[in-house]
Amino acid sequence: MLNQMELHETDGVKYLTFPALEQYPQLLHSFSTRIGGVSEGEFESLNFRRGDSRENILENYRRICRAVGYDFDGLVASAQDHHTVLRYVTEQEKGVGITKPRDMESVDGLYTDVPGITLVTSYADCVPLYFFDPTKNVIALAHAGWRGTVQRIGEKMTETLCRQFGCSTQDILAAIGPSIGPCCYEVDETVREQVMQHTDLLPEELLAGQGNGKYLLDLWECNRRILVLAGIPDENISVGEVCTKCHPELFFSHRLMGDRRGGMVAMMCLKEAQSLDS
Ligand SMILES: [Zn+2]
């Protein structure tokens, strides 16, 4: 275990999962570490960020697919830019952002009810939000940096799943993955002001003043409160409590490494019926 998440190692590839989501045989999910890939230098070694060679990134995808059990041909990757556009993906999008060019410009959240599609979103300190409704068999991933968080992407995803698939918020399970924690996420007055506008989140509890106009922001609790206000029961929400900046041996961190770094991916997939026994 690493705080509230399970750390796995398969054929040298290390990745994390949430115990609450592990219980569902129809679901695969993971958050990658930097361990077990083929990339070198600042990308060492399990890197998914552009700038590295395409060959290395594809081999890293093959490795995490083998380790967790995803079908490499079923991957669909987002094209994030800190907004809140959410996109429904199906068979047609298989390979998009991986082996095929991205046909999306600004997409920070992906969702599907199609088994065999693996959603992929990218990180290096921002917050990955995982969603799963076991009664409707719907999954989603959303990327929440401070901008996505104050635009309440978690609430938007919850509303979208309810509207589009008839999900009940009572049935949705959510999980908040590895990202920069309240121990390390220093922000300035500009960010603080944006957070403070959300009075329903009791924002003064989410910001710890450091002096010099700097504050430590708790993005985990901020997103957890947004999900609770969106109607997801408290007990349905897992918080990993894993800080990317505190664990440079496991993760790339933008705050720690700047632009000379690789990136991790969150992944999630509904298994196809024939593979449910394996
Ligand atoms: Zn930390």
Q: To the nearest 10°, report the CA torsion of 17, 49, 111, 67.
A: -40
- The 10s digit of each residue's pLDDT in 163-176 is 999 999 999 999 99
CB atoms < 10 A from the CB of 223, how many? Answer: 27
Q: How far is the CA of 205 from the centre of ligand 1 (A)?
A: 18
- Average pLDDT over the chain reads 96
Q: Output the pLDDT for position 104.
A: 79
Whole-angstrom CA distances from 216 to 188, 205, 206, 209, 220 are: 9, 11, 8, 7, 12
Q: How far is the CA of 257 from the centre of ligand 1 (A)?
A: 14
| CB-side neighbour CA atoms (13 Å) of 195 | 26
Q: How far is the CA of 157 from the centre of ligand 1 (A)?
A: 27
- The 10s digit of each residue's pLDDT in 239-255 is 999 999 999 999 999 99
Residues with CB under 5 A from ligand 1 (ion): 181, 183-184, 243, 245-246
Q: How far is the CA of 2 from the centre of ligand 1 (A)?
A: 13
Whole-angstrom CA distances from 66 to 54, 192, 235, 278 are: 18, 42, 32, 13
Q: How far is the CA of 243 from the centre of ligand 1 (A)?
A: 5
- The 10s digit of each residue's pLDDT in 21-59 is 999 999 999 999 999 999 999 999 999 999 999 999 999
Q: How far is the CA of 250 from the centre of ligand 1 (A)?
A: 13
Q: How far is the CA of 63 from the centre of ligand 1 (A)?
A: 28
Whether the predicted pLDDT of 277 surpasses 60: no
Domain ranges in the chain are 6-180+222-275
Q: Give the angle subtended at the CA of 147 by the CAs of 39 and 75, to the nearest 5°.
A: 40
Confidence of residue 276 (pLDDT cuts 50, 70, 90): low
Which top CATH class is 6-180+222-275? alpha beta
